Structure 1
Amino acid sequence: MFLDGYILGIIGTVIGKITTELHFNPLWEGLIVASSLLGILLGSPVGGWLGDKFGRKPLFMVDMGIFVVGSALQFIVHEPWQLFLVRLLMGVAVGVEYSVGWPLMSEFAPARMRGRLMGLTLVAFYVGFMVAFIIGYALTTTTSVDWRIILGSSTLPALILFFARLGLPESPRWLWNKGRHDEARAIAHKYMEIGNDASDLEQEQHRSHGSFKMLFSRRYWRSTLFCSMFWLCAVTPYFAIATFAQGVLEGYGLSQGLAGGVGLSAVATAGVILTVILIDRLGRRALTVPPQWLCFVLLLIIGLWAGAPAWVVLTCFLMFSFFNAGYNTLTGIYPGEVFPTEIRGIGTGFATAVSRVGAGAGTFLLPWSVANYGPQFTMLIAAGLTLFGAILSQWLAPETKGKNLSETAAGFTH
């Protein structure tokens, strides 16, 4: 997740240099920035299907291997199409990671602290985004380092992570679902807490063949609708605003690019951390529904208040970043809880893909919208998306606090 945040954050700091050197037109600029998001759109449903069919462990190694290769190729790109394809490949690897990593985490985590453990991965994402912004900004403004080196800097942590994953176990729930009960019990005994979590493993229903069709069955269509659209409405405004933070803030007369961009990332990280601390105490709904209504109001203020003082605009942006990041944490928790083992990867992958349609579209269209309609109208569009997410969550967001996976995935309730 750190690497995901890093590659999405680093591109925003060097896109100006890349545009100048490779002579981008606005179309290419949008495509390059959105390329990794498009890759996630492709990789997540395929990775989820493969993870449910062949196991979490193999895909967990393959995706990081692909990421290492793609990251290293950034050192040698010289044409816009080359950079687009390389970033697309890295996005595919990240997409596979989403649809395999979160199910794997949910299948090992004890119910009493599953929210905190899975939420911590989102902390890593926002830290990665913030670190990338700081490193990229520092290198581009104080040195003459080539932008290829800045982009390729993700190769080192990717290599470290690849070797760190050697020897990780397979998911005991996946093994049980495939009828490999002895292996499942052995891994559960070694790695899981003895008690309710380990015994809940044997409540798994043996349905070894999951399919995309199950996502839209009478039992799970609500889970699919909620996870997918909640995620889309949560990430679309964030990615668009955060990726072009400097340009968005300058559009409101705020010229402190580094301070504003880092500020947005820093308060977002703080929002995730607070959510992680509270999630297993307050529950999922309390941290999902109210913050979305608040973010809608904040974006509405920015969009409607023409001529608002700079400090008001900046305060609203910072508050939006904080609370939006808080409920964004739930996008990494809900899919792993509300889908059963046989479609946990597919469900997570599908929800990821839908969310990246929004994130990719927002990142691609934001510069065009600001240029043609102005920042205020653009913020009103973001407010409308946030409103839709708030209404959907008010209706469908389930409470899964403290429940075992056999309970949370038994069928959609709220």
Structure 2
Amino acid sequence: MITTTSPGTAAGKTEHASAGKRRFLVRLTAATVGGMFIDGYILGIIGNAIGVVNAELHMSLFAEGLTGAAALIGIFFGGPLGGWLSDKLGRKPLFTIDLALFILGSVLQLFVASAWQLFVVRLIMGIAIGAEYSVGWPLLAEFAPARLRGRLMSLSEVAWYIGFMVSSAIAYLLVVVFPVDWRIILGTSTVPAVILFFARFGLPESPRWLIHKGRAEEAERIAHAYLEDPGEALERGVPARKATFGALFSRDYRRATTFISVFWFCAVAPYFAIATFAASVLADYGLGDGLVGALGINGLALVGVVVSLVLIDRIGRRKLTIPQQWVSAVVLVLIGLWPGAPSSVVLICFFVFAFANAMCTALTGVYPGEIFPTEIRGIGTGFATAFSRVGAGIGTFLLPWSMHHLGAGTSMLIAAAVCVLGAVVSQLLAPETMGRSLSETSAPHRP
């Protein structure tokens, strides 16, 4: 007896499979961007709670800056380490291990009794977040279809700003409206982390990573089950390279490494410095206690990154990367050179900076996953993450000192110079990757 499948049944199965792939992509995206939410959350919460922390622990300016930068220092070490491990051992195991480490550090915040203990705990959390960057972004890039990859990857930056803004609002409520112990304020990061931890169970390994490890049968099964275009991920014609840091500076990839590292450094250094201590910076410019203005800055940054998310797969990467850095530089120069500017003008300039800076910062969540090949995608992302956090850490650590010793105007001019450097490097090196497959965007570049 011969059995046949009717066209309607076949079409139904195809539609069911497509729906399943869409649901998986939504789940993976949520699991990835959630990691960026908690990164923004822990960095925002410390900046807004540092005053009450300092009131109890009596920290020096040095200790205050070091505490604010602790998570960034941890990211510096966690990014390359997590990237190397994810390229060696796979994306899947690191995707839950890093979050377990974060939860441990987050809970320990509830029990710290000194400035050095708080520094160590937040350093641990930063190491976990650094690994998150170099695992989550490569994993999402390797599953996302080319037509949606820009939007899905830039969602990570949207989540980061939402996390930063939510933490600022929570800190405002718990510091000013309903004062509670600062340990509880910092420990609130445990809640979203635990939810995210359980959401990651059962996610598959990247088929691209499996192909480069010679596990073709497993890669093919996962690719056909979860990918919109399985064939593109199962290419076997690309020669594999060893997952080493040296490969990042080879003739093929030193241009990509230089671009994303410098661009990311220059995009986040001034923002982290200004936004982390926005309340005190705005207060120095005569804008009240600064907390409401700080929420406004973070709110405009969120709008900016959402605008980039909407446009990224329509107008391309370069148009959202280069002009915005020049705008950021111009408004910071204006603030720095006009010491007697009305407070309303200063606030508007900070708002414009936050909006423009966030538009280009959205690309820092897209480029690393696109311009490095599978076998060094984790290491490449991790290295760029570490390099960017040098800038963010320097800005966050030095801003209190710079504002105190050099003055607000000089501090803003230094931030403007960083933006100019980023704009020049991006103009020369930024690639256009819109609509192209990962095999194309990560192809070797030989000058």
TM-score with structure 1 setting the length: 0.98
Instruction: Determine which of 372, 376, 379 is the counterpart of 1:339.
Output: 372
Matched, 1:133 2:164: no
CA contact (8 A) 1:203 1:406 kept: no
For residues 272 and 198 of structure 1, the distance between their equivalents in structure 2, rounded to whole angstroms, comes to 32
For residues 256 and 397 of structure 1, the distance between their equivalents in structure 2, rounded to whole angstroms, comes to 40
Matched, 1:262 2:295: yes
Instruction: Determine which of 30, 35, 40 is the counterpart of 1:5.
Output: 40
For 1:76-115, what aligned pairs fall within 5 Å after superposition? 76-115=111-150
| Residue 335 of structure 2: aligned partner | 302
Sequence identity (%): 60
Name the aligned partner's letter for residue 28 of structure 1: A
Q: Which deviates more, 125-134 or 177-186?
A: 177-186
CA contact (8 A) 1:130 1:266 kept: yes
Matched, 1:233 2:233: no
Matched, 1:124 2:124: no
Q: CA deviation at 1:250?
A: 1.2
Taking a change above 3 Å as real, the CA distance of residues 338 and 204 of structure 1, as seen in their structure-2 partners, is: farther
For residues 110 and 131 of structure 2, the distance between their equivalents in structure 1, rounded to whole angstroms, comes to 23
| Residue 6 of structure 2: aligned partner | none
| Residue 35 of structure 1: aligned partner | 70
| Residue 24 of structure 1: aligned partner | 59
Name the aligned partner's letter for residue 234 of structure 2: L
For 1:237-252, what aligned pairs fall within 5 Å after superposition? 237-252=270-285
For residues 160 and 145 of structure 2, the distance between their equivalents in structure 1, rounded to whole angstroms, comes to 22
For residues 402 and 173 of structure 2, the distance between their equivalents in structure 1, rounded to whole angstroms, comes to 28
| Residue 242 of structure 2: aligned partner | 209
For 1:283-302, what aligned pairs fall within 5 Å after superposition? 283-302=316-335
Matched, 1:53 2:84: no
Taking a change above 3 Å as real, the CA distance of residues 306 and 23 of structure 1, as seen in their structure-2 partners, is: closer
Taking a change above 3 Å as real, the CA distance of residues 128 and 317 of structure 1, as seen in their structure-2 partners, is: same
| Residue 186 of structure 1: aligned partner | 221
For residues 231 and 61 of structure 2, the distance between their equivalents in structure 1, rounded to whole angstroms, comes to 54
| Residue 367 of structure 1: aligned partner | 400
Structure 2: gaps of 5 or more residues = 1-35
For residues 438 and 258 of structure 2, the distance between their equivalents in structure 1, rounded to whole angstroms, comes to 19
Taking a change above 3 Å as real, the CA distance of residues 344 and 268 of structure 1, as seen in their structure-2 partners, is: same
Q: CA deviation at 1:66?
A: 0.2
Matched, 1:170 2:215: no
Equivalent position SS for 2:234: helix
How big is the alpha-carbon RMSD for the aligned residues of Structure 1 and Structure 2?
A: 1.2
Structure 1: gaps of 5 or more residues = none
CA contact (8 A) 2:313 2:434 kept: yes
| Residue 146 of structure 1: aligned partner | 181
| Residue 410 of structure 1: aligned partner | 443
1:6-51 Cα offsets, whole Å, 9 max, x none, are 0000001211111121121111111111000000001000100000
1:169-220 Cα offsets, whole Å, 9 max, x none, are 10010001111111111111111103xx643431562526221000000110
Equivalent position SS for 1:399: coil
| Residue 103 of structure 2: aligned partner | 68
For residues 318 and 275 of structure 1, the distance between their equivalents in structure 2, rounded to whole angstroms, comes to 16
For residues 227 and 337 of structure 2, the distance between their equivalents in structure 1, rounded to whole angstroms, comes to 52
Q: CA deviation at 1:381?
A: 0.1
Q: CA deviation at 1:143?
A: 2.2
For residues 431 and 309 of structure 2, the distance between their equivalents in structure 1, rounded to whole angstroms, comes to 17
For 1:343-362, what aligned pairs fall within 5 Å after superposition? 343-362=376-395
For residues 179 and 366 of structure 2, the distance between their equivalents in structure 1, rounded to whole angstroms, comes to 41
For 1:276-287, what aligned pairs fall within 5 Å after superposition? 276-287=309-320
Taking a change above 3 Å as real, the CA distance of residues 47 and 204 of structure 1, as seen in their structure-2 partners, is: farther
Equivalent position SS for 2:148: helix
Equivalent position SS for 1:46: helix
Taking a change above 3 Å as real, the CA distance of residues 275 and 54 of structure 1, as seen in their structure-2 partners, is: same
| Residue 18 of structure 2: aligned partner | none
Q: CA deviation at 1:304?
A: 0.9
1:303-332 Cα offsets, whole Å, 9 max, x none, are 111211111111110011001001001111
Q: CA deviation at 1:413?
A: 7.9
For residues 9 and 306 of structure 1, the distance between their equivalents in structure 2, rounded to whole angstroms, comes to 27
| Residue 14 of structure 2: aligned partner | none
CA contact (8 A) 2:83 2:134 kept: yes
Name the aligned partner's letter for residue 180 of structure 2: V
For residues 146 and 262 of structure 2, the distance between their equivalents in structure 1, rounded to whole angstroms, comes to 25
For residues 409 and 444 of structure 2, the distance between their equivalents in structure 1, rounded to whole angstroms, comes to 42
For residues 255 and 41 of structure 2, the distance between their equivalents in structure 1, rounded to whole angstroms, comes to 33
Equivalent position SS for 2:235: helix
| Residue 361 of structure 2: aligned partner | 328
| Residue 32 of structure 2: aligned partner | none
| Residue 384 of structure 1: aligned partner | 417
Taking a change above 3 Å as real, the CA distance of residues 229 and 74 of structure 1, as seen in their structure-2 partners, is: same
Q: CA deviation at 1:256?
A: 4.9
1:261-313 Cα offsets, whole Å, 9 max, x none, are 11001110000101000000000001001111111111111111121111111
Q: Which deviates more, 253-262 or 91-100?
A: 253-262
